[in-house]
């Protein structure tokens, strides 16, 4: 099946779409799954519309919707997905009693211009992004591929399978924007065991699998809009209400939030844009920022401090600040033993299973993992090793396609056994 | 002649071009002056190439050059102007002994989207900008018009005219970028009396003329580029060198430069752009700023402080700062008596001449005025009254076209008499 | 009389007392004036208790009161002055019709350790401060002396004197704390002409008198107390509410208040004290600051901005800020012609009278001058020239004692003539 | 022996002395140990003079030396200790082959005014500090007591003791100032096993012993002096070089040092003093600060960032900064098994031994522990449980005196056995 995996991966790599605009991606996955016999839920059936974070502005959505239609997405699919309701949930019932297993694959790409150099395989092999400025630079093309591979295996109805399966193809993982909307729709409330995974992240060779991770930080993503009053900087400096300075002050001050004694925390302002012209007191300021914490408690501390600092910075210059929540993820504690029953055989793609790997960063799969565990289920986040010539989110990011077979083999073992064997 | 003035003004208003890209404007003025018999100097004959500040980037210039060609500008004119060598100098010798008089008219427009509302005369009368995002919002369309009117009067060779005349149609006044390049070419070294002017600025009725101004501040315009090192804000915050914070810190700190006891000073950061994405320690920061001072000494104090603060802000975050000088103007002391011999007659457009008007802001005509005075000549900056429904640089800026005749009449009086009568 | 002037000056120089603690000084002046026949008003008769700014803390007052008693100040005087009610008003009626003239002399010293070097005349001549850490470093010892000289002249009842005289010996000029309390008591409401003065300030030779000044800025003096919550910086950094950072942030931010287009403004934080120990998040912060402006309007702008910035800085760190008003002075416009009738004779100490001198800084005599002018009187602030080896407020400050005779002669001319001759 | 322990503890509690000024304390301990037969090393024999951090200024030392003499400290002891050479090392040789065991007890008090309330046992029982403003608020009075108890046990020469013992009574633990000086004198180079301890710290009941700790942070203590130039804030603001603003800016900016991904870090400015008077641009600024990190590497990162920020803050205002190192401590990794052979018997004071306890904060015993381990020895830092009505360093700090017997019993077990049984 390895050829098929590579073919899929390259197709999705060539057709990247940004979060909540994965119209063509969702449609392509959905048609495949329907053909296999899965029950497919899309649009507002798949996710809770109001629980989505950071949905793009209507004109942007509209433009992508037109493009998807022109690429051949059916009108009835478009009707359901319109307005950023991408992603899908596919369910399968073996008809035999057994566990309800949940699997999640994230499907969105990043706003990055992909490298066009011979040394970059997607370019030299001709499957570089066909969507300028958008790129699968975090391996989600591989994640979709693994999901499709798993679906094909299930649909082949091997006799050993029991119970039911839910496959979540989640939109908008980047920025922590899509997972909660699927959780809020209720898909995870009676899942017994839940699995999701990432290619790469921690340096491990192809063939190595980490059964769980520790270190994902809870995180909140915010945009801030400052609104002041402009004035001529030479003629009437005293009439301005300087939104540029409010944004600048908030930026430096946010980094003064104290360290927390209970564990790691983070804050970052990653973007600042303010002002119009050199000789005008600026009436606008804009920030993109995030807080993180090892626990929800620590992240919440960071968030509350950040909000106070932002409003105080606005007050400092007599301007108004509006804080917009655009994404969120939680910390997680994986069940570490969920791959413990998997045997390593001589001819397998897998050749080492680590109990746990240390990571950092944040992931909105955390909402799903915590939801499953809150209802008594078990859940884990796995990693599949691959050499990485460039880091995730780099314009030259690429992974070893051999890792796809390792991942699929792992998921097939999970289907067969899981935590109960 | 008033109809002709209005016609010219509206034509230039409809064809605005940004500083150092006034190809079509320069060509239009130049062809008119050549037809009248003026000797016209363009390109590197008109200005010292390396003394220009803030010339737009080559791709932008190239784009405008192509556009100008497509609008019909002759190839040999384009060859001389290419690369941002716009503006022109036109000379006339009466053949009779007398003063050498210099006149300067600025010709550039602003990066502003012009209002499209019925209440806005240029829109309702159909001469709104045909160049989207560019607008004559500071009255330079009127200044060109006055210059053309003056040239027509001179070309009519009235018997009373003596001496020689130099008319400078200066590019890129906005941002203080073009005057010094004309000065450095030597056009002002033997001018006996020099006149330039602005429509509006100080609230005065149509018909009122201010013979001089006081209060223009010396000013320096700077762009600053900060270059740091990016890093993942969650995984490796300690590896970043934060250029966003350097730019933010410089911004707030610049405003802490002390007041100067010898007179007014100003500093403003009018634009700040930094960062790429929320979860990345930013490796770039960019500022547009200006300093001002009542005297060159005060402005220099502001500038030296600003430079130190910018470099210290960079050092604070271990990033590099590059400071780019993009414009400059000086303070001026006008000769106040240069209109003193002009009579106010019953049927004249002028009905009041004020000795001096209080202004603020900055003007690069200051370089010309100071040059003339340094060589023993006399010089002034005049204002022509007009009601202003909206301030200069506003998307709905407009002036009373009656003011054009007032201005032309004043200049004709100057031609006839000047300081020596 | 010159010997007497020097003797007085040296005695007061040797016995300096800080503002609102000039018990011994007031008593010494008062007893002298009573002996001359003046009606002397002290304590709450002289000033409005609640209109005093920045009265020292009770224990400090108490200590100085005990000291004054031990130096021989009568118990009934002490009873009236207790609690910081120092200074006095002395009135004289010639019994003849005429102007009501007001004169003000400030009497307080500064918290400065006086130099003990041979080169410092007060030390080498043995009249250095006998009150360690307190010094007449602004010439108020000379001002008292001039006042006493004037009183002696009045008491000699020369026949040419007419009208009534009010002599205000004002406490606590430093910091702008005492003048308003005398004004609020009503002493200036029917004064026809008012005179006060300073030794030095502007560089002028002995013998030169400036009849008026321009440039005193309106000013407000504030202390700020920040109160946060301490915490161990290593163990529980997140529990602190950092008052040190609030004070530091307020300090830097206060300097970012925009320049005002209508005239000069100032802001300064002259003292910052915060924190307890290196490893403790600080729960206290303290600032001493001042705002200034050419007009009351400009100073008020500075003050309102300062208050907002202080409260925003407190909010930034979740601490409380209390703002205490401790002094105030106003801008003034002197009547410039009040010395215009004074003749310069060959044998006079005065040898030049300037119409006006340029100063900066602030003075609470402004309250008196504005009060007199508001009621239709005329008022001025004069300067008497003297060489100054060191600036005002320097530990080695001293002035030329010859300037005392110049000043007294000027005041005697004023007594004789004034604005009406 | 419990009565004796309590008696000692209360005596030392009543006679607290600050770091490097423990003249009377050292003398009292030393005389006791000499009487017991220990060889006692004091002054420059006990510690390397130049390796001490943060020695108080000579006038302060001199004052305390006079006081110690007046309290009866022998002149020859004073001669050796003069100049801040306090603390002592006492050695004992059993004459039998065996391990060289080292023990360290810190002896300094804190600059805190002790509570005088009935609810505070030292007050109600009459052993409150007799040295106003100085207090044993961290239990070092108890530590000395444990050391004396241990010495008495050793001197009783029980037959089971073998090998040699070194008891270090260390000065100036607060601020991490004294330990390194004893290490540099070479006392720890051939110690086989090393023990030191603290009362309290982690919440544990009396009777509970933690055999080791984890979590002490490496730390560096700095003072910073900023030197600028003063100027009159109203008259010549542009002439000042503002050291107050440099200190304030450094303070806020220091908190912006990024979090470190490898582990906890800290920074704190605990004291800021700047400026002279309200209307003077400040020419002085002073900071007391510290950095911390879980590892030496992390602390070093914090330190290097701090130094750059301090110098950049100085450059920002054109002032000079001098950084003074005044204390240091390292991170440690205890040998956890050093109490593993101690039996818990029914009648013992100890009733629970935890392998390890989590702490934070910093300790300069780290220098000793790292030195012993670097030479192949084993070392640990123990905790003895006690209820704490108020935290360490609180004016009402007190501990349960029953904990002293628990500690002594533990140390006696160590003497008898240690790591080799």
Q: Indicate which CATH number applies to the domain containing B251.
A: 3.30.70.360
Average pLDDT value over all residues in chain B: 94
Task: Return the pLDDT at B418.
Answer: 44
Is B106 in the active site? yes
B421 within a domain of the structure (yes/no): no
The predicted-structure confidence for A160-175, as pLDDT tens digits, reads as follows: 899 999 999 999 999 8
Q: Are D115 and D30 in the same domain?
A: yes
User: What's the mean pLDDT in D53-69?
Assistant: 94
User: What's the mean pLDDT in D6-22?
Assistant: 97
Angstrom distance (rounded) from CA C247 to CA C223: 11
The predicted-structure confidence for C341-399, as pLDDT tens digits, reads as follows: 888 888 889 989 999 998 878 899 999 999 999 999 999 999 999 998 888 888 899 99
Task: Return the pLDDT at B290.
Answer: 96
User: B262 contacts in D (CB within 8 Å)?
Assistant: 238
Higher pLDDT, B365 or A395: B365
Domain boundary among D328, D360, D376: D328
Asked if C365 and C198 count as a contact pair (C-beta separation under 8 A), the reply is no
In a mutational test of the C interface, the residue from D172, D248, D273 whose CB has the highest number of chain C CBs within 10 Å is D248
Closest alpha carbon to C366 in C150, C244, C205, C214: C214
| Record: contact D237-B308, CB cut-off 8 A | no
A259: contact with B, CB 8 A cutoff? no
The alpha carbon torsion through A35, A36, A37, A42 (nearest 10 deg) reads -70
Residue of B nearest to D252 (CA): B249
A255: contact with D, CB 8 A cutoff? yes
Residue of B nearest to D309 (CA): B316
A421 within a domain of the structure (yes/no): no
Closest alpha carbon to B8 in B409, B401, B421: B401
**Which residue in the set D252, D256, D360 is minimally distant from A261, CB to CB?**
D360
Those of residues 186-215 in D touching chain C at CB distance below 8 A are: none
Q: Are B397 and B295 in the same domain?
A: no
CB–CB contacts below 8 A, A to C: 57
b/e D324-333 (16+ beta carbons within 10 angstroms → b): eebbbbbbbe
Q: Are A237 and A281 in the same domain?
A: yes
The predicted-structure confidence for B260-315, as pLDDT tens digits, reads as follows: 998 999 999 999 999 988 888 999 999 999 999 998 999 999 999 999 999 999 99
Q: Are B346 and B324 in the same domain?
A: no
Count of residues in chain C? 421
B266: contact with C, CB 8 A cutoff? yes
Task: Return the pLDDT at C420.
Answer: 37
| pLDDT at position D418 over 50 | no
Is D174 in the active site? yes
Q: Are D278 and D187 in the same domain?
A: no
Q: Count the alpha carbons within 13 Å of C142 in the hemisphere toward its beta carbon.
A: 25
| pLDDT at position C34 over 50 | yes
Q: Are C150 and C200 in the same domain?
A: yes
A306: contact with B, CB 8 A cutoff? no
C421 within a domain of the structure (yes/no): no
Number of domains, chain C: 2
Domain boundary among C303, C328, C353: C328
Angstrom distance (rounded) from CA B190 to CA B180: 16
**φ, ψ dihedrals at C409, nearest 5°:** -60, -40
**Which residue in the set B255, B264, B265 is minimally distant from C255, CB to CB?**
B255
| Record: contact B311-D315, CB cut-off 8 A | yes
Closest alpha carbon to C214 in C122, C318, C78, C332: C332
A9: contact with B, CB 8 A cutoff? no
Task: Return the pLDDT at D212.
Answer: 94
The predicted-structure confidence for C202-258, as pLDDT tens digits, reads as follows: 889 999 999 999 888 999 999 999 999 988 898 889 999 999 999 999 999 999 999
Cα distance from C367 to chain A (closest Cα, Å)? 26
User: D256 contacts in A (CB within 8 Å)?
Assistant: 252, 255-256
Angstrom distance (rounded) from CA C156 to CA C165: 14
Angstrom distance (rounded) from CA B255 to CA A245: 9
User: D315 contacts in B (CB within 8 Å)?
Assistant: 308, 311-312, 315
Closest alpha carbon to C147 in C20, C30, C15, C45: C30
Residue of D nearest to C221 (CA): D278
E strand spans, D334-375: 352-354, 357-358
User: D292 contacts in C (CB within 8 Å)?
Assistant: 234
* CATH at residue A348: 3.40.630.10
| Record: contact C312-A315, CB cut-off 8 A | yes
User: B245 contacts in D (CB within 8 Å)?
Assistant: 256
User: D242 contacts in B (CB within 8 Å)?
Assistant: 258
A249: contact with C, CB 8 A cutoff? yes
C268: contact with D, CB 8 A cutoff? yes
D354: contact with C, CB 8 A cutoff? no
User: C391 contacts in D (CB within 8 Å)?
Assistant: 232
| Record: contact A259-D252, CB cut-off 8 A | no
In a mutational test of the C interface, the residue from A233, A238, A260, A298 whose CB has the highest number of chain C CBs within 10 Å is A238
Percent of chain B with pLDDT over 70: 99
Q: Are D58 and D142 in the same domain?
A: yes
pTM of the model: 0.83
Task: Return the pLDDT at D421.
Answer: 35
| Residues whose CB falls within 8 Å of the CB of residue A303, separated by 6 or more in sequence, listed in order | A220, A291
Count of residues in chain B? 421
Domain boundary among C308, C328, C348: C328
Q: Are B36 and B172 in the same domain?
A: yes
D241 within a domain of the structure (yes/no): yes
D391: contact with C, CB 8 A cutoff? yes
Residue of B nearest to D308 (CA): B316
Q: Are B155 and B200 in the same domain?
A: yes
Q: Is C359 helix (H, G, I), strand (E, B) or coil?
A: coil
Average pLDDT value over all residues in chain D: 94
Q: Are B340 and B393 in the same domain?
A: yes
Residue of A nearest to C257 (CA): A238
| Residues whose CB falls within 8 Å of the CB of residue D369, separated by 6 or more in sequence, listed in order | D194, D196, D332, D334, D379, D380, D381
Angstrom distance (rounded) from CA B151 to CA B153: 5
| pLDDT at position A418 over 70 | no
C252: contact with A, CB 8 A cutoff? no
In a mutational test of the A interface, the residue from D252, D256, D362 whose CB has the highest number of chain A CBs within 10 Å is D256
Task: Return the pLDDT at D235.
Answer: 83
**Which residue in the set C235, C255, C290 is minimally distant from D278, CB to CB?**
C290
Closest alpha carbon to A16 in A143, A125, A117, A120: A143
Q: Are B119 and B50 in the same domain?
A: yes
Range of the domain at C236: 218-328
| Record: contact A260-C238, CB cut-off 8 A | yes
**Which residue in the set A255, A264, A265 is minimally distant from D256, CB to CB?**
A255
Angstrom distance (rounded) from CA B149 to CA B38: 13
C123 within a domain of the structure (yes/no): yes
The predicted-structure confidence for D250-288, as pLDDT tens digits, reads as follows: 999 999 999 999 899 999 999 999 998 888 899 999 999
The predicted-structure confidence for C139-178, as pLDDT tens digits, reads as follows: 999 999 999 999 999 999 888 899 999 999 999 999 899 9
Residue of B17, B65, B106, B294 with catalytic role? B106
Residue of A nearest to B316 (CA): A252
Q: Are D123 and D181 in the same domain?
A: yes
| Record: contact D256-A256, CB cut-off 8 A | yes
User: C266 contacts in B (CB within 8 Å)?
Assistant: 259
Is the C-alpha dihedral spanning C75, C76, C82, C84 positive or negative? negative
B350 within a domain of the structure (yes/no): yes
| Record: contact D238-B253, CB cut-off 8 A | no
E strand spans, C212-283: 213-214, 218-227, 231-232, 265-275, 280-281
Residue of D nearest to C232 (CA): D361
Angstrom distance (rounded) from CA D144 to CA D167: 11
Residue of A nearest to D251 (CA): A256
Q: Count the alpha carbons within 13 Å of C242 in the hemisphere toward its beta carbon.
A: 35
B341 within a domain of the structure (yes/no): yes
First CA to last CA distance, chain A: 26
**Which residue in the set A236, A238, A309 is minimally distant from C316, CB to CB?**
A309
Average pLDDT value over all residues in chain C: 94
| Record: contact C266-D233, CB cut-off 8 A | yes
C189 within a domain of the structure (yes/no): yes
Residue with tokens 């900008």: B129
């Amino acid at each position: 099946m390895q050829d098929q995996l590579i073919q899929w991966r390259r197709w999705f790599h060539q057709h990247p779409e940004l979060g909540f605009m994965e119209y063509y991606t969702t449609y392509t996955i959905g048609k495949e799954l329907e053909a296999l016999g899965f029950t497919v839920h899309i649009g507002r059936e798949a996710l809770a519309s109001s629980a989505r974070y950071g949905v793009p502005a209507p004109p942007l959505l509209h433009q992508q919707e037109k493009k998807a239609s022109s690429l051949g997405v059916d009108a009835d699919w478009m009707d359901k997905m319109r307005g950023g309701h991408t992603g899908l949930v596919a369910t399968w019932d073996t008809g035999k009693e057994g566990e309800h297993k949940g699997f999640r694959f994230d499907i969105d790409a990043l706003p990055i211009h992909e490298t066009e150099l011979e040394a970059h395989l997607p370019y030299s092999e001709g499957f570089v992004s066909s969507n300028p400025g958008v790129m699968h630079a975090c391996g989600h093309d591989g994640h979709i591929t693994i999901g499709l591979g798993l679906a094909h295996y299930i649909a082949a109805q091997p006799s050993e399978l029991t119970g039911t399966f839910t496959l979540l193809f989640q939109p908008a993982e980047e920025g922590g924007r899509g997972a909660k909307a699927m959780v809020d729709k209720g898909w995870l409330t009676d899942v017994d065991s839940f699995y999701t995974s990432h290619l790469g992240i921690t340096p491990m060779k192809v063939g190595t699998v980490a059964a769980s991770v520790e270190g994902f930080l809870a995180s909140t993503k915010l945009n801030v809009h400052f609104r002041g009053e402009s004035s001529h900087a030479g003629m009437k400096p005293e009439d301005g209400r300087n939104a540029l300075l409010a944004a600048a002050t908030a930026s430096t001050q946010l980094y003064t939030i104290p360290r927390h004694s209970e564990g790691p925390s983070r804050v970052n302002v990653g973007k600042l844009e303010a002002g119009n012209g050199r000789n005008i007191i600026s009436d606008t300021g804009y920030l993109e920022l995030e807080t993180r914490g090892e626990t929800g408690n620590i992240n919440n501390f960071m968030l509350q401090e950040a909000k106070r600092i932002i409003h105080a910075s606005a007050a400092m210059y007599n301007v108004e600040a509006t804080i917009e929540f655009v994404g969120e993820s939680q910390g997680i504690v994986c069940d570490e033993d969920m791959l413990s029953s998997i045997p390593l055989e001589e001819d397998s793609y897998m050749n080492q299973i680590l109990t746990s790997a240390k990571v950092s960063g944040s992931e909105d799969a955390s909402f799903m993992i915590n939801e499953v565990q809150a209802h008594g289920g078990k859940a884990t986040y796995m990693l599949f090793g691959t050499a990485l010539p460039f880091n995730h989110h780099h314009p030259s990011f690429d992974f070893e396609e051999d890792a796809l077979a390792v991942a699929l083999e792992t998921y097939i073992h999970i289907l067969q056994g899981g935590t109960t064997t």
